[in-house]
Amino acid sequence: MTPRQRMVAALSGTMPDRLPVSTHHVMPSFLKKYLGGASNREFFDRFGLDPVCWVSENRADSSRGEYLDPDHHGAFLEPRRVASERWRVSIEGVPDPAYPTLRYTFHTPRKDLTTVLQSDEHTTWVTERLIKEKSDIEVLAECMTYPLCDTEAVNRIAEGEESLIRGTVLCFDVYGQPGCWQDAAVLFGIENLILASYDDPDWVHAFLAILQKRKLRFAESTAGAHFDLIEFGGGDASSTVISPQIFETFVAPYDSPVIEALHRAGQRVVYHTCGGMMPLLETIAAMKPEAMETFTPPSMGGDTDLAAARRRLGDAVCMIGGFDQFHYFAACSPGETKKAVRECFEAAGEGGRYILAPSDHFFEAEPELLTAYAEEARSCVY
């Protein structure tokens, strides 16, 4: 099997020739520090992993007066921004002694909205939330653009590719998450959003509905795009962040219709929940994604028992992840890494609906341990 065929088999419920082994995003800081700035594909080839090709391609709906922002050309996993006369983004640097800091201003006829992001060599985070007043969501509803999937661009990349073609549901401009609740958490702050779910649930429902409308349009526009898998969800809906009750009230009702729209468009879906998952397994499975991730173990702050999760999910869902990259990609022996791989395979691999992967990103990893990880996984056969 090609790597793409192998992973699609696991996602589709047919038997792969061996355990598929891959990773989530390959972080640019890792490639620069350890591999001299190698490309993603060079990383996969070097270690013998099943490659994933992430594709993010947007187009603008000209019938709505929208256009691709000529001043924005995308970045790591960020597609071209879509602008209009009612929705434009400008950027300015903010002096800071510790980190590169940027202020983004969303210009609209109603008012200007601002958010501030900081970065280091590994990642980016929000220091000022875009939504500061509850009435700000009315600005989004009235003025924001609705980017669509550029299916022709996706298919040009996918043609003849042996990597798994993986995309994501549209995130909010500048910085966001695929899931409705998760996008709201980025824009308003997760603590604020949790409190509002108790103090003003009607406002939270209205906020989520506004974000859902944008994601539904994007999901519908993926029809004909040759993705193998589209990511949805995000860590702010994990059970180490919110309760199952909040998930059932504010997450599933808004994310399920988006999954249904993706299915109507002919797409497979992976629901991403980095953090705790065990109290939510059946609830997420009932939303009918083809796959779930990241199955983070307790040793990394999650709660997953892989074998128990496999028993509870049965063969209805492909499981992706479960590997402890913090303890077995650094400061251990290759034999310990191989043992950890074998334990994951024995816990979740039966039936072939499992793709071995780290529990989300990694920023540090010793190359010899990545080699051991891939070698052992390739020896796991059905």
The pLDDT of 212-226, averaged and rounded, is 98
Q: How confident is the model at residue 314 (pLDDT cuts 50, 70, 90)?
A: very high
Give the C-alpha separation, 203 to 36, whole Å: 48
Q: Is the pLDDT of residue 366 over 90?
A: yes
Least Cα distance to 22 among 377, 379, 338, 316 occurs for 377
Sort 101 into a burial class: Cβ within 10 Å, 0-12 / 13-18 / 19+.
Answer: middle
- When pLDDT is cut at 50, 70 and 90, the band that residue 33 belongs to is very high
Q: Report residue 73's pLDDT band, with 50, 70 and 90 as the boundaries.
A: confident
Share of the chain above pLDDT 70, in %: 100
The rounded Cα 368 to chain-centroid distance in angstroms is 27
* pLDDT over threshold 90, residue 277: yes
Domains of the chain and CATH, by start? 3-82+130-378 (3.20.20.210)
Supply the pLDDT for residue 106.
Answer: 98
Bridge partners, 104 (sequence order): 91, 115
pLDDT at residue number 1: 94
pTM of the shown model: 0.96
DSSP state letter for 17: S
Strands 354-358 and 318-323: parallel
User: pLDDT at residue 75 above 90?
Assistant: no
What's residue 164's pLDDT? 97
Q: How many CB atoms lie within 10 A of CB 334?
A: 17
Can you say whether the dihedral through the CA atoms of 141, 142, 143, 146 is positive or negative?
A: positive
Mind listing the pLDDT tens digit for each residue in 48-62?
999 999 999 999 999
Q: Are the C-beta atoms of residues 177 and 183 closer than 8 Å to each other?
A: yes
Provide the percentage of residues in the chain whose pLDDT is more than 90: 97
Residue 38's contacts (CB-CB under 8 Å, 6 or more residues apart) are 31, 46
Residue 127's pLDDT is 97
Q: Determine the pLDDT at residue 78.
A: 83
Residues whose CB is less than 8 angstroms from the CB of residue 363 and which lie 6 or more positions away in sequence, other chains included: 27, 29, 30, 122, 123
pLDDT of residue 183 exceeding 80 = yes
Name which of 109, 82, 13, 9 is nearest 50 in CA terms: 9
- Whether residue 77 is predicted with pLDDT greater than 80 in this model: the reply is no
- Asked if 94 and 103 count as a contact pair (C-beta separation under 8 A), the reply is yes
Q: CA angle, corner 256, sides to 205 and 246, nearest 5?
A: 45
Please give the pLDDT value at position 74: 80
Question: Over the chain, what is the mean pLDDT?
Answer: 96
pLDDT at site 108: 98
With tokens 């989520």, the residue in question is 208
Task: Compute the distance between CA of residue 37 and CA of residue 45 in angstroms, rounded to an integer.
Answer: 14
